[in-house]
Amino acid sequence: PSTLSLSTHTYASDEQIAAVEREFVILETDSAVIRNNTLNQEVRVYREDGLLLACSYQTAVFRVPKSTP
The 3 state secondary structure assigned to 13-38 is: CHHHHHCCCCCCEEEEEECCCEECCE
Report the alpha-carbon distance of residue 29 to residue 27 in Å, rounded: 6
pLDDT at position 4: 84
The predicted-structure confidence for 14-26, as pLDDT tens digits, reads as follows 999 999 988 899 9
- What end-to-end distance do the CA atoms of the chain give, in Å? 24
Is the distance from CB of 18 to CB of 12 less than 8 angstroms? Answer: no
pLDDT at position 55: 97
Point out the residues of the chain with pLDDT beneath 70: 1, 68-69
